[in-house]
Amino acid sequence: MHDIPYLKERAKETRLNILEIAFKAQGPSHPGPALSCADIVTALYYRIMNIDPKNPAWADRDRLILSKGHACPVIYAALAQRGYFPMEWLKDVRRVGGNLQGHPDMNKTPGVDMTAGSLGNGLSAGLGMAYYLKDQAKNSQVFVILGDGELQEGNVWEAAITAPALKLDNLIAIVDYNHFQSTGATDDIVPIEPIVDKWRAFNWNVIEINGHSMEEVVSALERGVAFRGRPTVVVAHTVKGKGVSFMEHNNDWHQKIPTEAEYAQARKEITEGI
């Protein structure tokens, strides 16, 4: 099992790959929302999830749905690093004929467990996975990463009210609470607070953490996996653009291509740690 210092190093690599995609992809990708969940995704792929990169279709594996699918550079980075496909593919994100689509495609990209991108849909799909896997007597866990802005989608709450009724304790939702959505601050558009109370009221096991503390991320996910009787949601407080000074808290980087100078600066900051 990988230790925390190792995971922190891997998270740097995840971030560097996100930047590479942002710089090289066809048109603008979404670096800001990918960076905010980079620590969470790294922990999942390197420690928490029971997966086999050599056998992406392994029936007993754990599943991950990136319901905030626009942040897919983060999973492309992790999947490439784990060897699901060659690192060179990262240069072809969003390109015609490429295997790495603008939003996750389960048939084109090895390791992607569910097509995603249209917001609000992932948690219900995760619910179906969790029900089926449990009923088929598999020990698989299902993780679903949601954006905070995404919680404005009504379908999230259809799934939220249903999963505890079905006692799906193998379902773990993670809210990447980076406080921004496409056009501005979530608080200025439709605030999602009180978020912890909302999930509690829907009868979920709620764990609130700093989503950039690898110790807290790992601990929360492990507690979520161990929890029985109800689904768990990890409310992860994060920073949009985390790891790059000029991207942090700056929603311009929701979807944008860095210049060569910005790319170099960002790489330096992540490598050295800001």
Partner 1 sequence: MGVVYDSYSTRDAFGKSLLEMAKENPQIYAVSADTTKSMGYEPMRREFPNRVINVGISEQNMALTAAGIASCGGKAFCATYAPFAAMRMLEQVRSFIAYPNLDVKVISGLGGLSGNVEGTTHQGLEDVSIMRCIPGIVVVVPADSCSTEEITRVITRHNGPVYLRVGRGEVPKVFDSYKFEIGKANPIKTEGADIAFICNGAAVHRVLQADKLLAEKGISAQIIEMPCVKPIDEDAILAAARTAKRIVAVEENNIVGGLGGAVAEVLSSLLPTPLLRLGIADCYTESGPHAELMDKYGLDPIEIASRTENFFSHHKSV
Local structure of 33: helix, strand or coil: helix
d(C-alpha 82, C-alpha 66), whole Å = 17
Q: Which is nearer to partner 1, 13 or 105 (CB)?
A: 105
Instruction: Using CB under 8 A, pick the residue from 40, 100, 159, 220 that binds partner 1.
Output: 159
Q: Which is nearer to partner 1, 126 or 147 (CB)?
A: 126
Local structure of 107: helix, strand or coil: coil
The residue count of the chain comes to 274
Alpha carbon 133 to its chain's center:
21
Query: Closest approach of Cβ 67 to partner 1, in Å?
Result: 10
Count of beta carbons in the 10 Å neighbourhood of residue 27: 10
d(C-alpha 37, C-alpha 69), whole Å = 12
Question: Which of 193, 179, 156, 151 is closest to 237 using CA atoms?
Answer: 179
Q: Which is nearer to partner 1, 166 or 185 (CB)?
A: 166
Instruction: Using CB under 8 A, pick the residue from 1, 59, 226, 261 that binds partner 1.
Output: 59
Q: Which is nearer to partner 1, 85 or 180 (CB)?
A: 85
Structure tokens at 189: 């558009």
Q: Which is nearer to partner 1, 106 or 257 (CB)?
A: 106
Q: How many residues bind partner 1 (CB under 8 A)?
A: 30
Q: Which is nearer to partner 1, 136 or 183 (CB)?
A: 136
Binding range to partner 1, per CB under 8 A, among 79-87, 158-166, 224-232, 233-241: 158-166
Q: By rule CB under 8 A, what string of x and - marks binding of each residue 121-150 to partner 1?
A: x--xxxxxxxxxx-xx--------------
Query: Closest approach of Cβ 59 to partner 1, in Å?
Result: 6
Q: 142 — phi, psi (to 5°)? A: -125, 120
Q: Which is nearer to partner 1, 4 or 166 (CB)?
A: 166
Q: By rule CB under 8 A, what string of x and - marks binding of each residue 60-79 to partner 1?
A: ---x----------------
With beta carbons less than 8 A apart as the criterion, state whether 242 and 31 touch. no
Structure tokens at 106: 């389960």
Strands (E), the chain: 63-66, 142-147, 171-177, 180-181, 184-185, 205-210, 232-237
What is the rounded radius of gyration, in angstroms, for the C-alpha atoms of the chain?
17
Map tokens 């989608």 to a residue: 153
167 interacts with partner 1 by CB under 8 A: no
98-117 residues in contact with partner 1 (CB under 8 A) are 105-107, 113-115, 117
Return residues touching partner 1 (CB under 8 A).
Answer: 59, 63, 105-107, 113-115, 117-118, 121, 124-133, 135-136, 155, 158-159, 161-162, 165-166
